[in-house]
């Protein structure tokens, strides 16, 4: 079992004819992902890597049965692309796009929630269920099918964490990068709820970073309602206050959102926090 995606997931690529869209379409197909269609307005009738391209998401869904969409669309067009995917009946959207304005995201998240569409991102590397499906830009070769769920706000840091989990022989059930923007779709707690129900997931690694309060809220949720072992890692321990570190949402200000506060929240909830990514496996085996 996996969460959100598996072998039966039918993927539509919005922005498939662009440089990134076409490149990662090829990589996803090579991994075994079932990509059934692509969308680029004005490019209908073309094919990319054998995948038919349509002018609209509605037409692509009607003709290919796509249920999941991934966006390789510039920020200025991503807002419309998100609304279009939802209106066409897509139930899971993965937004690789970054730089979408915060106010637009506030409206989009509310719109999607009202219609029962799940969003991963924006500014996300995607999601992968090893050996089943990959929807995103995650390097498939570092993943191995296993029992550890991974939820992360950081893309590249996720790869290092997964490298250690895979090398230890534990492997991953599903790994998802939820994005580093201030306003995102699925948050830590939403993902934990999904892993809670997944019988194949025996433990979870949560990779957070400075900024916001999602880590503190998830610590409280884990303490009260999550029974599987959880290990955390927080990036940005040495970040100066008021300085944004990498992601738009990774900024600690007014005494909140610091790494120290997040670590304290996890430890208070009985959740071990790794000092370095390589310590995660040791902690997983001890909890």
> Catalytic residue positions?
247
Is omega for the bond preceding 261 within 30 degrees of 0, making it cis? no
Instruction: Report the candidate in 140, 139, 170, 181 with the shortest Cα–Cα distance to residue 156.
Output: 139
Our measurement of the distance from residue 201's CA atom to the centroid of its chain's CA atoms, rounded to an integer in Å, reads: 17
With a CB cutoff of 8 Å and minimum separation 6, the contacts of 178 are 120, 121, 124, 151, 152, 153, 184, 185, 186, 187, 188, 191
Three-class SS state of 237: coil
Residue whose tokens read 């090579």: 30
What dihedral angle (degrees, nearest 10) is formed by the CA atoms of 180, 185, 11, 78? -70
Chain centre to alpha carbon of residue 24? 16
Show Cβ contacts of residue 105 under 8 Å, excluding neighbours closer than 6 positions. Answer: 122, 181, 182, 183, 184
Distance between first and last Cα of the chain: 23
């Amino acid at each position: 079992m996996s969460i959100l995606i598996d072998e039966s997931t039918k993927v539509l690529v919005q922005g498939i004819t662009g440089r990134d869209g076409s490149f990662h379409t090829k990589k996803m197909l090579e991994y075994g992902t079932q990509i059934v269609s692509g969308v680029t307005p004005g490019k209908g009738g073309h094919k990319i890597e054998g995948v038919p391209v349509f002018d609209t998401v509605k037409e692509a869904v009607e003709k290919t049965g796509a249920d999941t969409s991934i966006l390789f669309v510039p920020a200025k067009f991503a807002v419309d692309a998100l609304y279009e995917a939802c209106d066409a009946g897509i139930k899971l959207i993965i937004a690789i796009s970054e730089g979408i304005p915060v106010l637009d995201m506030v409206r989009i998240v509310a719109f999607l929630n009202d219609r029962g569409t799940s969003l991963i991102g924006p500014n996300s590397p995607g999601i992968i269920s090893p050996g089943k499906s990959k929807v995103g830009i995650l390097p498939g070769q570092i993943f191995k099918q296993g029992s550890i769920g991974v939820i992360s706000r950081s893309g590249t840091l996720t790869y290092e964490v997964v490298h250690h989990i895979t090398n230890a022989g534990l492997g991953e059930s599903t790994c998802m990068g939820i994005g580093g923007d201030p306003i995102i779709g699925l948050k830590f707690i939403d993902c934990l709820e999904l892993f809670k129900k997944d019988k194949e997931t025996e433990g979870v690694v949560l990779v957070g970073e400075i900024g916001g309060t999602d880590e503190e809220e998830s610590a409280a949720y884990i303490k009260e309602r999550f029974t599987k072992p959880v290990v955390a890692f927080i990036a940005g321990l040495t970040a100066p206050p008021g300085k944004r570190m990498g992601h738009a949402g990774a900024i600690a200000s007014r005494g909140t959102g610091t790494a120290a506060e997040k670590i304290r929240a996890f430890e208070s909830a009985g959740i071990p926090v790794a000092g370095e990514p390589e310590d995660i496996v040791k902690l997983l085996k001890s909890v």
